[in-house]
Amino acid sequence: MNGEELTEQETALYDRQIRVWGVDAQRRLSKSHIFVSGLKGTAVEFCKNIVLAGVGSLTLNDDNPVTAEALAANFLIPFDENMGGGGSLAELCCDSLKDFNPMVHVSVEKGDLSSFDVDFFEKFDVVVINCCSLASKKSVNEKCRKLSKRVAFYSVDCRDSCGEIFVDLQKYCYAKKKIDETVECQLQYPSFEEAIAIPWRSLPKRMSKLYFAMRVVERFEDVEKRKPGETSIADMANVLKLRNELCLAHSLNESQIPDSLLERLVVSTKEFPPVSAVLGGILGQEVIKAISGKGDPLKNFFFFDAVDGKGVIEDISTSTP
């Protein structure tokens, strides 16, 4: 991000936001470049929030056609759009998002996420991937880390009424207000691969059960070469078997990953719109923090379950006691 000042038009449009987080934060936002891949309901909520906040540009990546499931979860698709005949999800979302804020440059990048090399991500400040495979999370995160500049990486998943956000800001410095002074703080983040490689036995005893359950389903899809969400009740026996094997390997009691929770993640794979809205709001807030350098950022997992209505932050890193 460069040091250009806000234009007179930007200052007028974002006046209320400037009053909340200041001119410098808005300037950083207005010069930032965001990449989002996987335009399911949660990512769409995030895109709407970040466009309204006034980022510089937003690049969308999702070549999938419109489906009945997409129509149910994606409010950016026009109601009169015929399934499969009106362009890709990214193209349709792009047209709608431009109407939300004409000052934000919204564009489409065609191609499979796995085909983008390291240099491709250098033009962005933030990379967000939604509903991606285990391999994609590791690969894209690693590509972002290989760049000479810091590129913030986020992955977000929503299954039924459960959701997870992962954050990697690498070495991150930010300002924090304490009474009458502002202090500089620094955090060191692990990559996604480093975080999930930490033995379960070394994690806090009250760790979110959703963390373990997501890892089991994620591993199952990876082993079976399934796309995220391509599971059903017929897979439950094998998922439970894998759960038992992982618990044995990690010296974790199987009760930490209840059958009922796994069944919800395996059977009800569609996004629950209210949960998508919650996750999209949290993700938008965290990206704004990362770009502006103001406020305590999330480190490094966030979990939400609509059954109990709780949002939980878990710091899963090599420094976890």
Look at residue 43 in the predicted model and tell me its pLDDT.
97
Mean pLDDT throughout 165-189?
90
Let me know: does 296 contact 173? Beta carbons within 8 Å.
Answer: no
Per-residue pLDDT tens for 95-112?
999 999 999 999 999 999
In whole angstroms, give the CA distance from residue 304 to residue 161: 8
Average pLDDT of the chain, as a whole number? 92
Looking at residue 1, its pLDDT comes to 44
Q: Could you identify the residue written with the tokens 């983040």?
A: 189
Examine the pLDDT at 2 and tell me if it is beyond 80. no
Cα separation of 55 and 115, whole Å? 26
- Which helix or strand (DSSP H or E) is residue 37 part of? strand 33-37
State the residue for tokens 């979110």: 208
10-44 tens-digit pLDDT:
888 888 888 888 888 899 999 999 999 999 999 99
**Tell me: the pLDDT tens digits for 232-284?**
999 999 999 999 999 999 999 999 999 999 999 999 888 899 999 999 999 99
How does residue 86 score in pLDDT terms, banded at 50, 70 and 90?
low
Please report which helix (H) or strand (E) contains residue 140, including its range. helix 134-145
- Please answer whether residues 145 and 193 qualify as being in contact, where contact means their C-beta atoms are separated by less than 8 angstroms: no
d(CA 128, CA 22): 25
Rounded Cα distance, 235 and 262, in Å: 11
Alpha carbon distance 276, 163 (integer Å): 8
pLDDT band at 87 (very low <50, low <70, confident <90, very high): confident
